[in-house]
Amino acid sequence: MIWVGLAVSVMLLGLLLYYLLVVTEGVFLGRRLVVWLYDRVAGTYDTRKAVDPDYETFFLARPLQHHLKHLPNPLILDVATGTGRLPVALLEQPLFHGRVMGLDASGKMLAMAADKLRPYHFRAALVQQTADRLPFTAHTFDAVTCLEALEFFPDDETAVREMVRVLKPDGVLLVTRRKGAWGKAFLGNYRTVAQFEAFLRTAGLETVYTVPWQQEYDQVYGRKPTIPR
């Protein structure tokens, strides 16, 4: 009987660890653990992700360029840039003449990004920092993006408010909404489409809309009003 109890306890502990470390990637155990885990996987992140450059052009770079088409040299901030997915996708576009700043809390993810961004070093910069306190003055960026990361932040409301703060009036915000069964596993961090859009409006954005993107993520756009609400 003791052995059965022990086996069940070990199994439950294993399931709990799987939930805390794999499914939700450490978010319920604190920011330091999330960043530590990303530091561990940085070297293999791109291989496992295997993004298709054409797909990135079509679904990320082009729509963003469309939003910024009235600006000759836009300045973009990519929060939780990881290995530089968004900066690379944009800077590879022949018609994009702007600059991109990538911010991430993981030094190892940023080191991978730095390698990939070397050809664009005059137009790309990286900074190691957490998303809850962006080291920029208000109204600095024409666009702020944050892909596949909000659900890993200890406080996504503070992070989004920071992103809105550093956006210029009329600037565009692009963030992702985690969805699907694993999205719902993020318990307090999960929002439906309506809840997510309301969340962005409450943070001060207008013209908020959702675009279905990948199996696990929607893209959600919003614009900062020219006259503060």
Point out which residues bind ligand SAM (CB under 6 A): 31, 34-35, 38, 80-82, 85, 104-106, 109, 130-131, 147-149, 152-153
Length in residues, the chain: 229
Which CB sits closer to ligand SAM, 104 or 197? Answer: 104
> Which tokens belong to 173?
């915000």
Min dist. Cβ of residue 202 to ligand SAM (A): 21
Which CB sits closer to ligand SAM, 196 or 213? Answer: 213
Which CB sits closer to ligand SAM, 67 or 85? Answer: 85
Min dist. Cβ of residue 120 to ligand SAM (A): 17
Task: With beta carbons less than 8 A apart as the criterion, state whether 116 and 56 touch.
Answer: no
Instruction: Say how far apart CA 94 and CA 188 lie, in whole Å.
Output: 41
Instruction: Say how far apart CA 193 and CA 24 lie, in whole Å.
Output: 20
Residue with tokens 């990004």: 113
Q: Which residue is nearest to ligand SAM (CB)?
A: 82
Which CB sits closer to ligand SAM, 20 or 201? Answer: 20
> Could you tell me the CA-to-CA distances from 135 to 130, 132, 152, 179 in Å, in that order?
9, 10, 20, 30
Min dist. Cβ of residue 42 to ligand SAM (A): 8
Min dist. Cβ of residue 214 to ligand SAM (A): 10
Q: Which amino acid is at 153?
A: F
149 secondary structure, DSSP code? -
Min dist. Cβ of residue 197 to ligand SAM (A): 21
Task: With beta carbons less than 8 A apart as the criterion, state whether 123 and 53 touch.
Answer: no
Which CB sits closer to ligand SAM, 11 or 22? Answer: 22
